[in-house]
Structure 1
Amino acid sequence: PFEPPELRMTFKILKDNDFAPYWIELGKEIDHEIDKFRKEVEFFKRYTAIFYSQGHSSPAEKRFDSKKALFYAESRFTLQRIDKKISDYNLHCPFFRMGRPNMKIDDEIYKVISSVEKLIEELKQNPNKQ
């Protein structure tokens, strides 16, 4: 009902053959990538909990700090990539009300960093907690 009359036939053919307009497929891809990113953050938090639950040496802690810094950098890159896809989605979406708000990358990365650092502080205070 919201599509232009000249595109109804095209959308019907696409729908009948399990295809969707680009912006719909892109929206699904964005949802999948956001889900995947959240799972990666949870995985890293579990890894952190395991690391701090066991005894570790100074070189191991340095390696962990390097791994943590790399994770933060990769997280920022992933969020930037998702944000670009959101911008692309908004450009292709024919209805402005269905657009998605762009990510505030600094805010999102701050949430990730603060949640990991908070977990580390809790584990340092109480090493038996996981």
Structure 2
Amino acid sequence: MDQMKRWESFIDEQVKRVIGDGDTHHLPGAGAPLHLDDDNVNLSDELRIAYKIMKDNDVAPAWIMLGQELIADLELIDKRLRAYVKSYRGRMADAQRVASYILMREADERWETACDRIRKDVEAYNKKVLDYNISVPPQVQQRKPLDAEILIRRALA
């Protein structure tokens, strides 16, 4: 189990390193049109024809567009969570500096509200992940749903 956690942490670090600040324009092939080969042996005749029509009309399959939405949603969740943690820590530090129980309580309440927002964002993200996983072709790797509680715990660590 411990080995699995290290593996997941490694993967998370690699994904964060690749995504970085969200600017992926420097990656090879960024912005390039899709190359949906007409002679792809993994596709049925119907899919090959459909992909050719989409390619000829500069249209991407819905699952690709949904995958791009998932990337943007994940970046937004991460950005919000970092901002919430920063705000919470700042408020708690201020409350502790003046030794105010009331300010600590307010900081905790705001934090819980922020966590609820993250939970809702993750729930919406996970619904899209399910739609994505159902719609991708078999040869495309599926995405894992997020666990809001794990994200929140990691952000505070």
Same fold (TM over 0.5): yes
Alignment of 1:61 with 2:104, yes or no, is yes
Which of 48, 68, 71 is 1:31 aligned to? 71
Which of 55, 64, 71 is 1:15 aligned to? 55
- Please state how far the C-alpha of 1:22 moved relative to its aligned partner: 0.9
Q: Which residue of structure 2 lines up, in the alignment, with residue 52 of structure 1?
A: 92
Q: Is the 8 A contact 1:86 1:100 kept in 2?
A: yes
Which of 103, 115, 131 is 1:88 aligned to? 131
In the alignment, structure 2 segments of 5+ residues that lack a partner are 1-39
> Structure 1 residues 17 and 49, CA, compared in 2 at 3 Å: closer, same or farther?
farther
- Higher relative contact order, structure no. (Cα contacts within 8 Å, ≥ 6 residues apart): 1
Q: Which residue of structure 1 lines up, in the alignment, with residue 119 of structure 2?
A: 76
Q: What RMSD, in angstroms, separates the aligned Cα atoms of the two structures?
A: 2.3
**How many residue pairs were aligned?**
114
Rounded to whole Å, the distance in 2 between the matches of 1:11 and 1:72 is 41
Q: Which amino acid aligns with 1:23?
A: W
- Please state how far the C-alpha of 1:114 moved relative to its aligned partner: 5.3
In the alignment, structure 1 segments of 5+ residues that lack a partner are 119-130
Q: Which residue of structure 2 lines up, in the alignment, with residue 123 of structure 1?
A: none
SS in structure 2 opposite 1:85?
Answer: helix
- Please state how far the C-alpha of 1:3 moved relative to its aligned partner: 3.0
Q: TM-score, normalised by structure 1?
A: 0.71
Segments ≥4 residues shifted beyond 4 Å: none
Identity %: 24
CA deviations over 1:62-104 (Å, ceiling 9, x no partner)? 221111111112212211211111111111112155222333x
Q: Which residue of structure 1 lines up, in the alignment, with residue 143 of structure 2?
A: 100
Alignment of 1:42 with 2:42, yes or no, is no
